[in-house]
Chains A and B, each alone.
Chain A
Amino acid sequence: MRHAISPLFLESADDDDRFLVLSGDHGYELFDALRSRHPDRFVNVGVAEQSMVGIAAGLCRTGFRPCIYGLASFVPLRVLEQVKIDLCYGSLPVMILGDGAGLVYSVLGASHQCGEDVACLRALPNIAIYSPCDAHELRACWSEARQGSHPSYIRIGKSHPDDIHTRPVSGTSPVVVSEAGPSSARSVIVATGAMVRVGLQFARAHGIRCISVPRLKPVPAELIPLLGDAQRVAVLEEHVSAGGLWSLVLEMIQSVGILRPPRVEPFGLRDAFTQTAGDHQHALSEHGLDDGQIAERLIRWLDANPPAEAAE
């Protein structure tokens, strides 16, 4: 997915004289193409994330349409109050691209890992939150964010080489990426961002429905009909479950008032920091979320809590 970012910078700069990218000295080669064709549209503000958000707000208030790039740990997390006051309060159309979200920076430890950005931002009015799973979803989220008249956050998690979708997606609503087999409509996997990959693999192997959720705010209410008669839902995310997609699914189910609501199982980061060095899968394993652990847990999830209908 990450390979898709640079072309989006370039296209946006080509299309719109008001488009600028700001970085707090992060991103290295990511901006090479932009800097080469539009040298004035890239602004490295230095290692100064707080003022970067304010500067973006000032640029927006004088007619520009800035995109702030940063590591999710720093933007939006470190600068949460600047995002609240400088961007959200005035509902300024500034985009934030938070790279390396989740446990991508496994070797650098808790300082660089970010499993709480969505929970923090969900509480702020006016901002849209996106968590694309591949280049196609990223493009759809980017397009919607660029057209919005309010701030947006696009969460960039672990980038896998292969796309999930085989063709462009038309919007940011929840989308079914794997259909249910004839006997398994009562179980659904819901996933967002980097976790769609492992959810999809399992869903295909076991013939169950898997849904990717690229937009987290405004609330993706279109998800509820896609759950059908599901009696159990597994929610996969590289983010703490509390305040993340798991909470969101529970809230939506509760607010809709489904007669026989499904049991919703969290597969997210534990309420703990990672403790040891290692690769991305190792960091996930500390939370019971490496590929093998997720597959085992999903098998148990399928076996346990038989659907109400089967139990009757």
Chain B
Amino acid sequence: MRTAVFDPRVLRRHILHMAYHGRSAHLGCALSLVEICAALFSEGMQYDRSDPLAPERDLLVLSKGHGVLALYACFRELGWVSDEDFSNYLGNGTRLRGASEADVPGCEVTSGSLGHGLPVAVGMAFGLLLGQTKRRVWCVVGDGEMNEGAMWEAMLFAAHRRLGNLTVIVDANGFQAMGQTEEVLGMEPLASKFTAFGFETVECDGHDVSAIASALRSEQETQSAPRAVIARTVKGHGVSFMASDNRWHYTRLNDDTLAAALEELR
């Protein structure tokens, strides 16, 4: 088996190929996530590369389930999805669907209906704390998803129960389904909101793997506060004609756009 390196260019090519094979939408929200996933899999999380269900693994919860192509791209590097999964993506009867599904090893939760992943992640972190393990929970949420009230309920609980084993990473790409987040329902200032809700919060460039990795690993002031990393990203990042163009939340690739996008990622 080849060694997984999580090169963002390679991950983006995987995303494009899968989206093309599956005639999938939701490209922009996966492309903004690539470096976050790369940092988590290369340096942030404790896990067994040979076994996505290893009992002592950290738990990665993709709460913004529509970005699941970025996870599948990492799974592809790890050999957790097969060539067949890859080339038959979204084909009739296949196992990988268009949002995170708990029955896919590595995914941990079912999300896609927004506002579900973080409460479940908080319950997991609480359970791991009660079980006195060193395992952590890493939960990736969207800035648009932060519209959901259940997210803030879960954050209150995480701080109240001192879940120092929880890190929430916000893929702050500034867009949601129908427009710019600040135009639809303003969520900023996200960092001070997380801080006000009892999180230790840092911001970073969400397309700089080493910056994200150091934010994920940075020294905690206390062991008892949940952590938040606000990763500033660009929706559709990595392909010039997709970047910050919300049409790529919905648009499918054709032969020409696939070729043009791959050309940029050679």
What residues make up the interface of A, taking CB atoms closer than 8 Å to B? 40, 43, 45-46, 48, 50-64, 81-82, 85-86, 89-90
* Stretch of B75-83, B113-121, B201-209, B221-229 on the interface side: B113-121
A50-B153, A54-B154 provided; 10 other pairs, C-beta below 8 A? A45-B153, A46-B160, A50-B150, A51-B157, A54-B116, A54-B118, A54-B120, A58-B123, A61-B127, A90-B110
- On chain A, the residues within 8 Å of B122 by CB distance are 51, 54-55, 58
Does B119 contact A58, Cβ atoms closer than 8 Å? yes
- On chain B, the residues within 8 Å of A63 by CB distance are 127, 131
Does A62 contact B149, Cβ atoms closer than 8 Å? no
Is residue B156 contacting chain A, with contact meaning CB distance below 8 A?
A: yes
Expressed in whole angstroms, the minimum distance between the Cβ of A288 and any Cβ of chain B is 38
Is residue B125 contacting chain A, with contact meaning CB distance below 8 A?
A: yes
Q: Give the complex CA separation of A50 and B109 in angstroms.
A: 16
Q: Give the complex CA separation of A52 and B234 in angstroms.
A: 33
From 154 to 181 in chain B, residues with beta carbon under 8 angstroms from any chain A beta carbon are 154, 156-157, 160
Does B120 contact A57, Cβ atoms closer than 8 Å? yes
Expressed in whole angstroms, the minimum distance between the Cβ of B103 and any Cβ of chain A is 8
Closest to B127 in A: A62
Our pick among A43, A50, A58, A89 for the contact of B110 (Cβ within 8 Å) is: A89
Does B110 contact A54, Cβ atoms closer than 8 Å? no
- On chain A, the residues within 8 Å of B109 by CB distance are 61
Our pick among A43, A53, A62 for the contact of B119 (Cβ within 8 Å) is: A53
Q: Give the complex CA separation of A55 and B149 in angstroms.
A: 14
Does B154 contact A51, Cβ atoms closer than 8 Å? yes
Our pick among A40, A50, A64 for the contact of B127 (Cβ within 8 Å) is: A64
Does A54 contact B123, Cβ atoms closer than 8 Å? yes
Closest to A56 in B: B123
- On chain A, the residues within 8 Å of B130 by CB distance are 40, 59, 64
Does A59 contact B116, Cβ atoms closer than 8 Å? no
Our pick among B116, B128, B150 for the contact of A62 (Cβ within 8 Å) is: B128
Does A81 contact B113, Cβ atoms closer than 8 Å? yes
Interface of B: prevailing SS: helix
Q: Give the complex CA separation of A265 and B175 in angstroms.
A: 55
Interface of A: prevailing SS: helix
Q: Give the complex CA separation of A52 and B116 in angstroms.
A: 11
- On chain A, the residues within 8 Å of B113 by CB distance are 81, 85
Our pick among A43, A55, A64 for the contact of B120 (Cβ within 8 Å) is: A55
Expressed in whole angstroms, the minimum distance between the Cβ of A45 and any Cβ of chain B is 6
From 46 to 84 in chain B, residues with beta carbon under 8 angstroms from any chain A beta carbon are none
- On chain A, the residues within 8 Å of B157 by CB distance are 45-46, 48, 51, 55
Q: Give the complex CA separation of A62 and B119 in angstroms.
A: 14
Interchain Cβ contacts under 8 Å between A and B, 21 examples:
A46-B153, A46-B157, A48-B156, A50-B150, A54-B116, A54-B122, A54-B150, A55-B122, A56-B123, A57-B119, A58-B122, A58-B127, A61-B109, A61-B123, A62-B123, A62-B124, A64-B127, A81-B113, A85-B110, A85-B113, A86-B116
Most buried by A among B108, B149, B154: B154
Does A59 contact B150, Cβ atoms closer than 8 Å? no
Expressed in whole angstroms, the minimum distance between the Cβ of A58 and any Cβ of chain B is 2
Most buried by A among B113, B123, B127: B123
Is residue B41 contacting chain A, with contact meaning CB distance below 8 A?
A: no
- On chain B, the residues within 8 Å of A54 by CB distance are 116, 118-120, 122-123, 150, 154
Most buried by B among A52, A54, A61: A54
- On chain A, the residues within 8 Å of B149 by CB distance are 50
Most buried by B among A43, A46, A61: A61
- On chain B, the residues within 8 Å of A53 by CB distance are 119
Does A55 contact B116, Cβ atoms closer than 8 Å? no
From 88 to 124 in chain B, residues with beta carbon under 8 angstroms from any chain A beta carbon are 102-103, 108-110, 113, 115-116, 118-124
Does A59 contact B127, Cβ atoms closer than 8 Å? yes
- On chain A, the residues within 8 Å of B108 by CB distance are 61
Does A50 contact B120, Cβ atoms closer than 8 Å? no
Q: Give the complex CA separation of A58 and B121 in angstroms.
A: 6
Q: Give the complex CA separation of A60 and B128 in angstroms.
A: 11
Q: Give the complex CA separation of A293 and B121 in angstroms.
A: 50
Does A57 contact B127, Cβ atoms closer than 8 Å? no
Is residue B194 contacting chain A, with contact meaning CB distance below 8 A?
A: no
Q: Give the complex CA separation of A229 and B149 in angstroms.
A: 54
Known contacts: A40-B130, A53-B119. The answer to whether A58 contacts B124 by CB under 8 A is yes
